[in-house]
A and B are shown apart, each in its own frame.
Chain A
């Protein structure tokens, strides 16, 4: 009997000691964090996950690209209000739909940020699972994405650096926790942004996009002397411009430095992109091609960085930019004003190809056709390029370079601006003017260039300038307009 008891006890104690391990059950249809971050592929999937999270309707798939900030910049006419943005254009920040969208932007960006943070919390400990340049790419992009999103949060929900560098900004989240991250001041956030982005830039120095062999071009063109963007055998290293590549980080840095009024560094970074000659200007025949399937409406090759959004094609066609006045559109007076129909507009390719005149019984108006596809088929073949949400484009680098060099050399500044105008077939060069005249021209051109790309609002805010209405009326600059209120949940549960 003693023997039996002894064996029993040994068995029991064995059970106890292996119990903890046994209770550690791994899910199967989803994957636990430590399991995901045990392989290189897992890190790649996590990075792709951040882009996946960001290209949704709530974020860059719609709202942050051609939604709320674009409405705030008075770039849509609101006569029929089929998309429920009228209250947004009136800066009614108590409107239900506006609150819903803004809260989702806040929550969505932070959710993407937490995905970056989880990668960054794991990547250094698992450095040994990586091959080639992948460690630098993963870590660099995670840092850059975190900064990119925080920067957009700051530009929406905090006062501009110019008007309130010391004011309360946003929480700069670098951890994975349920405890709220304390608020930082605007200038502290700027410092964090620069730190993360500079670190990312260093890591991404090995980015294959910098190789001479990396040729930017249309994915439909199979000639490898024209494009090599999809030549890498590793899917993860293809289409670098769909992700925050080295030059995209430079572009973001240029944006951030300019926002911080550090013009020297802004110019440095903008010029790095321009001088790389990586991003060719769009050929006239591609922009103006009559055959829809040969047409490039978003100036694909000029994109330094864009979000890949083919899944939005159907909604773009059938909802947001649907034909008729229920889609996002510009009444004809507004379109004519923005594109200076009577002067430069006569030549401007953007006027011709971003807008399409249409009419109903009661009105004529411009449909915005920048995102129009030949078909809603998600494949690439319906146009020259993928459906993209432009994030950073070459022309913005020219604008930054122009603005950053105006004080030292107005001639250079005008040269940069005129270069963009020339590429859009406006051959008349702008005469030199004073800073105010220069900025006016710069903003006007940026408005034409980035219509429905969600950047203009930030420009007004950065410069603390009044917003130019649809036909020229100025809406005075004010933090009441420029600073979106924090979500209620953030205030209540975060103790803000």
Chain B
């Protein structure tokens, strides 16, 4: 093949040949990537040829044989002129020069390929020297090191001097190209001038010039919607491990709901809302704890390369694949997504391969994480013993036990303390661990055919021993571009393996007494560490060693394999009209396996007749198939001063989820963990299945218009149909309107030295949300498979299908200003908004004589009002040194305007549980979520407290009618605190010194309140039988006249939820510190790399909080340091 190539140039058109060259190279590289280097090394770089009266063709053949270099030339090149060659061990270049000296030919070497072409004749006469200076268009300062070359002959190049000066031999018709990193490339025709002064405009991060809405790309200058664009690079800077956290730090209106229970468990998906919450939980569900709010109904829609994905996909996405992330917030920006848009839309685009020669990007990250236990302050053995004495644990009559038993117990425990047992249980289940990530990306190709391949391997061990999330993914991406037609296919395969820690909940370790030894004398973990005798003097309450359970072969793992293929084609129907069709198919198969060893403490107290029922295995499988397709027309046209960008689209989506699961029990021993060893199903156990299917159909018309770049308008109409809607309500219309004014383009501001950009925008629109299970709108029958009647199986209706069920509607109105000052060095982006959600889906309680207790109806209104401010300031910009500051602040106020009757019922149930102790499945002492009209959805409810009465140590409450009482009454429950912070934000600075970059980012919120559960559960109500917070030694009420915070020390009851424990919740967290070093490209080149950089990132470095509480109850929070290398070849 190579030979054919060498001797018979396939085509005489230069361009086509170049293309072939690339294809050739691609094939070669792909096939021989490994061997190529080796074989090249065996060729010599010097040439020995001795021929008389030969032709160039023969000589080239010889050189190729000796060096391995290929030759390319067009048909115009005459190689048959006779010549004599006498070369002996001459370097290649010299040899070529010698050969071509009299041939009127010239050459250049491109990557082991020698291109031969005719020397341009007569050029020499017209050559003239042109000199000039390159400056920054804005500052006027000279730019050194600008790459300047001839467009016709890119080999003829030079760099500008330190003073920005240059000089070059050129023809008048030549075009000079000026390019420099960070500036827009500029082409200048030489003409007859002898000096040129070239001003380069700074490239204001290309991506921020346009808004990618997922269906189209709109110039930011003419867009009225509110969209925040982040590049993958920027996000990686903030947190290389957690993409969603980085987005939240970049724009705080994208809020990740803190979950104090699950901490930094790598396997827990976060709950997110954008611009406040807009959904109510359904009324008949169980009462919700305030700190365990994991409802998914507020999630924004995630759009990846034009099709919808779930949060899990984003969570497991390789950040290196991301080109940009755009957060669409207001109606004008989101309305194109219609029924999915109400909670905001996050649009992610992945990197499309770039043309050019093969480029390899390699990323390595080493991520070291350690548990952050700073919130935990527990007692050591000696202190604990002292506390137990103080708490009267060994005083006669405690728990109805006789004194001699208690004395014996005391000495039994005291013996351990004296014996030096002081176990720090907290450190047992946690570890400092290192995760790795390798990510390789190959790309290249011509403008006709481009390809990209990426592979990732990432391990994410968690700080609890044994927990991990390992992600593997691979992708292939190619683009074929043929004139008016473009075709792209992207195939991604992802595999995720998640393992939960066998160590169980972290809280089990926190409460263990330090005087319990964790190992016995022989080094084994005992199963029982203690047993408290009950009041009946017969039975015992056992304290199990959580470490014993951790050593067993129990496991809890899940994972999935996902294949996504995304195929799209684009056709330029006419000059201004593009037709694009896209189709994506996702299949995901998920598995879950949980095995609980028969030796686990859960089965310890099984009676002898249930011995064969110990051990438990749960297996679940789910298959998900989604497809999403759209066809869209995009019309871009400039007519006079008017500029149109019109989009018409049809979108269909189908989701099928098919799951099966079952539980088996009865395992013989700890070794046989396979499900085949199970004895059978659990009592009344049977296999379960869930099958869910839903479909969506949408059509859209959207237009963006600007007049003379001064007056802007956006309008969108979308009609969505969803199978989830009621039969009578299948089609839902959504719309948005926006208007804007580019004041800076008006005559009176032209040339203004202070204001460089001033844009006013107002938008409004209606969007929706259909986050509910697919069959709510139908009357469905359920089969009673477990209970046949004597005359056959029965089917019973189990819901009232509300045929009128419709979507939640959110009316959003935004007003915003884009202001840039001092040549864009200071940018201020203030926005205010109101988000009014009506027809929230809620349970409506029915009179039971209808046959149903409740049904779903659209009833409930909620309002979120807020302001956002983003600031960017280029404080200092010098050649070697620059400082940039930025900040982004949000304030959101949530208010429930209308709720359904069933939430009032929910309140009754909450009241009931609020007075029941935890032992009876109640929530005494734990604030519950409640909903009242006029309050924020996050409001904390309890009884107002005036503190501890110094007289008698009892808590003094304020009743609803204003009178005082000692008796807690749930009817006096009122709002006692609002956790919504007044301001929430993130801010930071980046410093650059030569090739060093330092980036910091802080997160803060203040003005909110919280209920300090640690003070309640672990101090005030501390259970003296278990380990407690150090603050238990703080003063409690002992005698009349004590002015103290805590109640009577003798009161062992549970304190009810009251305002005494409401504390101001302010936080400043140094979220990111990152240091980057870019290796000098010259040095990198020597290492045969085009780019090499090192980063060191620390996340969650320091935290200052006004609240001292235990954080991460079931799983601790983590701090991490990431070391990264990025190399491009």
* A binding-site residues for B, Cβ under 8 Å: 1, 4-5, 8, 12, 15-16, 19-20, 22-33, 36, 42, 44-53, 55, 103, 106-107, 110-111, 113-115, 117-118, 170-171, 173, 176-181, 235-239, 242-243, 308, 311, 386, 487, 489-490, 493-496
CB atoms of B792 and A27 under 8 A apart: no
Contacts of A117 in B (CB 8 A): 851
Contacts of B793 in A (CB 8 A): 45, 48
Which B positions have Cβ atoms within 8 angstroms of A?
Answer: 573-574, 579, 631, 633, 650, 652, 689-695, 697, 699, 721-723, 725, 727, 730, 774-775, 778-784, 787-798, 800-802, 844-853, 855, 901, 905
- Minimum CB–CB distance from A82 to chain B (whole Å) comes to 18
Residues in chain B near residue A496, CB distance under 8 A: 847
Residue pair B697, A19 in contact (C-beta under 8 Å): yes
Tell me the bound Cα distance from A420 to B690 in angstroms. Answer: 54
Find B850's partner among A16, A46, A177, A237 (CB 8 Å cutoff): A177
Quote the shortest CB–CB distance from B621 to chain A (angstroms). Answer: 14
A51-B850 in contact (CB<8A):
no
Chain A's closest residue to B802 (CB) is A178
A178/B901 contact (C-beta < 8 A), A42-B795, A44-B792, A493-B845 known: no
Please state if A110 and B848 are interface contacts (CB–CB under 8 Å). Answer: yes
CA distance A115 to B850 in the complex (A): 11
Q: Within 8 Å CB of A27, what residues of B?
A: 691-693, 774-775, 778, 780
Chain A: minimal CB distance from B951 (Å): 36
The answer to whether B789 touches A242, judged by C-beta atoms less than 8 angstroms apart, is yes
Cβ contact within 8 Å between A55 and B778:
no
**Cβ contact within 8 Å between A180 and B849:** yes
In the bound assembly, the distance between CA atoms of A495 and B847 in angstroms comes to 8
Neighbouring A residues of B901 by C-beta, 8 Å: 493
CA distance A24 to B730 in the complex (A): 9
Which B residues are CB-close (under 8 A) to A115?
796-797, 851
Please determine whether B848 and A239 come into contact, CB atoms closer than 8 angstroms.
no
List 15 additional contacts besides A20-B721, A45-B793, A49-B796; criterion CB under 8 Å. Answer: A12-B650, A15-B697, A25-B693, A25-B694, A25-B774, A31-B781, A46-B795, A48-B793, A49-B781, A49-B795, A53-B794, A177-B850, A178-B855, A180-B847, A490-B847
B781 contact set on A, CB distance < 8 A? 30-33, 36, 45-46, 49
Give A495 to B846 CA distance when docked, in angstroms: 11
Could you say which residues of chain A place their CB within 8 Å of the CB of B652?
15, 22
- Are the CB atoms of A23 and B730 closer together than 8 Å? yes
Picked from A22, A33, A113, the residue with its CB within 8 Å of the CB of B780 is A33
B789 CB contacts on chain A under 8 angstroms: 48, 51-52, 55, 242, 308
CB distance from A36 to the nearest CB of B (A): 5
> Closest residue to B804 on the A side, CB-wise?
A178
- A176 to B800, alpha carbons, bound, how many Å? 9
Q: Which of A27, A32, A117, A170 has the most CB of B within 10 A?
A: A27
Partner of B849, one of A20, A170, A237, A308: A170
How far is it, in angstroms, between the C-alpha of A117 and the C-alpha of B850 when the chains are bound? 11
Note all chain A residues with C-beta closer than 8 A to B721. 19-20, 23
Residue of A8, A111, A170 near B852 (CB, 8 A) is: A111
In Å, the complex CA distance between A170 and B796 comes to 23
Give min CB distance, A370 to chain B, whole Å: 20
**Docked complex Cα distance between A103 and B694 (Å):** 36
B794 touches A45 (CB 8 A): yes
A345 to chain B, nearest CB (A): 35
Interface of A is mostly: helix
A283-B699 Cα distance, complex, nearest whole Å: 76
A222 to B790 alpha-carbon distance, docked (Å): 17
Contact B850 A20 (CB under 8 A): no
Nearest B residue to A42 via CB reads B795
A residues less than 8 Å from B691 (CB atoms): 27-29
Q: For B905, give the chain A residue with the smallest CB separation.
A: A489
Using CB atoms, name the residue of chain A closest to B904. A492
Closest chain-A Cβ to B351's Cβ sits at a distance in Å of 31
Q: Is the CB of A173 within 8 A of B699?
A: no
Q: Which of A8, A12, A33, A45 contacts B779 (CB under 8 A)?
A: A33
Closest Cβ neighbor of A117 among chain B residues: B851
Whether B847 contacts A242 by the Cβ 8 Å rule is no
- Is B774 in contact with A15, judged by CB distance below 8 angstroms? no
In the complex, residue of chain B having the shortest beta-carbon distance to the beta carbon of A104: B848
- Whether A23 lies near B695 (C-beta < 8 A) is yes
Q: Are A45 and B693 interface neighbours, CB within 8 A?
A: no
Distance in angstroms from A209 CB to nearest chain B CB is 13
Query: Which residues of the other chain, B, contact A490 by a CB distance below 8 angstroms?
Result: 847-849
| Cα separation A219 to B163 with both chains bound (whole Å) | 109
Q: Can you list 11 A-B contacts (CB < 8 A)?
A: A4-B573, A25-B723, A27-B774, A28-B691, A31-B795, A32-B780, A48-B794, A48-B795, A110-B850, A115-B851, A118-B779
> Do B790 and A386 have beta carbons less than 8 Å apart?
yes
**Is the beta-carbon distance between B723 and A23 smaller than 8 angstroms?**
yes
Q: For residue B845, which residues in chain A have a CB less than 8 angstroms away from its CB?
A: 489, 493
Q: Are A235 and B850 in contact (CB under 8 A)?
A: no
Are A30 and B847 in contact (CB-based, < 8 A)? Answer: no
Q: Are B848 and A236 in contact (CB under 8 A)?
A: no
User: Shortest Cβ distance from A409 into chain B, in angstroms?
Assistant: 40
Q: In chain B, what residue has the closest Cβ to A171?
A: B849
| B851 touching A173, Cβ below 8 Å | yes
Complex formed: what's the CA distance from A85 to B901 in Å? 32
Q: CA of A33 to CA of B727 in the docked complex: distance in angstroms?
A: 13
For A157, give the chain B residue with the smallest CB separation: B849
Determine which of B692, B791, B849 lies in contact with A110 in the assembled complex, contact meaning CB atoms within 8 Å.
B849
- A-B pairs, 8 with minimum CB distance: A114-B851, A494-B847, A52-B794, A48-B794, A107-B848, A49-B794, A25-B723, A49-B796
Contacts of B855 in A (CB 8 A): 178
Given contacts A23-B723, A33-B779, contact A111 B792 (CB under 8 A): no
Within the complex, what minimum Cβ distance (angstroms) separates A31 from chain B? 5
Contact B796 A308 (CB under 8 A): no
A390 to chain B: closest CB distance in Å?
A: 15
Are the C-beta atoms of B798 and A242 separated by less than 8 Å?
Answer: no
Give the CA-CA distance A152 to B692 in the complex, in Å: 39
Pick from A23, A26, A110, A494: contact of B722, CB under 8 Å: A23
Closest to B845 in A: A493
Chain A residue with Cβ nearest B690: A29
